[in-house]
Structure 1
Amino acid sequence: MATRPAIGIDIGGTKIAAGLVSGTGEVLHRLVTATPGHSEPEVEAAVVDLVRAFSRDAPGAPVGVGAAGWINPDTGTVLFSPHLAWRHEPLRDRLEERLGRGVTVTNDADAAGWAEWRFGAGRGEDQLVCLTLGTGIGGALVLDGALRRGRHGMAGEFGHQMLVPGGHRCECGNRGCWEQYASGNALGRDGRELARAHSPVAQTLLAAAGGQPEAIDGELVTRMALAGDPASRDLVAEAGEWLGIGLANLAASLDPGTFVIGGGLGSASPQLLETAEDSYRRHLTGRGYRPYARVVRARLGADAGLVGAADLARSEAR
């Protein structure tokens, strides 16, 4: 008997992506809507509308929701979300009340990591660390074939390991966090600093930003690096060096077999991953006397979160 499809929802700060997902991870139908501001009821209403749109073709399909933030795995409560005004928000209970059926709520990076393990670049690897590189650095752990969220549901916040005491201020309140050196935000900040310093090497990058340093972001630096701009390539190489140092730290702690690197930045920059793998191998403790984890690019792209959320809901429904 074919495995029935499930509905996956990926709630982001600017958009909500939804899909009807087959048992093999294929997105059969897809819908995207803008995230309606920071109002909890409006976001919940948008999710409900998306689920109902799919329910016409797949009545009773399991529903999985991935959201950024710390989520209590037992209650489905969002303890804190960086992009929305959720603080101890009983998201699962409110969605179940409005939909009249069970809902699985999980962290968005956990959902993406699970999808890569089940259907993507981490398939067949039972000791997996998945990183999502974008504005910051998110992460997921699949160990011994199970998603590991930690005692309080907060595992995988790899971007907030502190690498540089007294370093760049992070949105989390600390200084020197990994994501301040190896993320899209870090690339954009360093590009803007280079342009504001009137460095002659930054002129091509600045011209691409219309002469406005404030218009330089991580996406532009990545795009210019891919086009061969030397300054942008240097910035990406520096971020890759920091990325590799963080991978070496994670390997010392967790000893995974594979690192899967995804997210917008991880998917867009081959140079970043090449530099990161070289840095990882140079900084790994015990190098030369132990196996190296594979460092591979994620395969599922922007669909990973909704695919993983759907599959986790299907598993829980069983």
Structure 2
Amino acid sequence: MNQDWHRAALGGPAHDFFRLSLNESPFEPLPGVALAVADAVLKAGRSPDPLCTELSAAIAEQLSVGVENVLVGAGSSAVLQGLFLLSEGKVVHPWPSFEMYPLMAGAKAVPAAVDLEALRAAVDETTGLLVLCNPNNPTGTRWRTEELERVLSGLPDDVTVVLDEAYREFGDECADGVELFRTDPRVCVVRTFSKAYGLFGLRVGYAIAAPELIGRLRMTLLPFLVSSAGQAAALAALKAEVEMRRSVAQICAERDAMRASLLELGWEIPRSHASFLWLPGEGEPLVAFLAERGILVREVASLGVRISVGTPEQNKSLIEAMREFPA
């Protein structure tokens, strides 16, 4: 792949491209976020709250959990990395899924098909964590509550189930990990402000788990990594729940319209419950074709191409370009 395309697709300077490769929010910040960040910058010379006290309390109140069940980190990736470091056993995860799982788990990683039976079968006496990305990135598939309850009922007591819910707000009938956590302390829920709340660049995520796990997890995370601006932005974003839900609905409508258009063009695209579409199959020719037309999308492990939902104008340009792709 052309190095300029590659760097831009991963978050570098986009220049003349527009980027549908990183599942970024296509919208301006939610109401109150920009002002909160501007106010926080005025105090940039002071340390951020290492315990994210106010934000942790706000999350706990919104989700009706104890503040002792909440840990805020520098994005959900930082929280996940801490969990992987803590695990003395193997880390079973779906594949294809979030590309950071095998990188963070290293030799402990045990990939399995994106199928609950296959994932459950991969769990054995050496397993410490079972990670389920729900909805799954990049396939966009999701699991319902009853499906995850069946998996939990058959797992050993010493296996922690990590539910990575980065895209949960976009899912239809998607299991709610926090509700599962209320009845099963083996569940650890990881969420982020990067996607639905549009704070990707400010790096704020969190875990909901039993106090004992939260305490151990806190010891793995370096202090002061969640900036004052990030904490202030997340607090403001929580207060803009109505506007967040409205923007999520718009993204979902665009996503479904894009899928309908691509199905008409003959592409086989599964229904998505996230903020992107998944085109199974080897996709390097398509990635290059679109990049030559100024559109960046993401090939994942030579298994398919993930296309993020952008602005309506960007999505229209994508469909027009896909019409020209040689079958």
Asked if Structure 1 and Structure 2 have the same fold, meaning a TM-score greater than 0.5 normalized by the shorter chain, the answer is no
Larger strand share, 1 or 2: 1
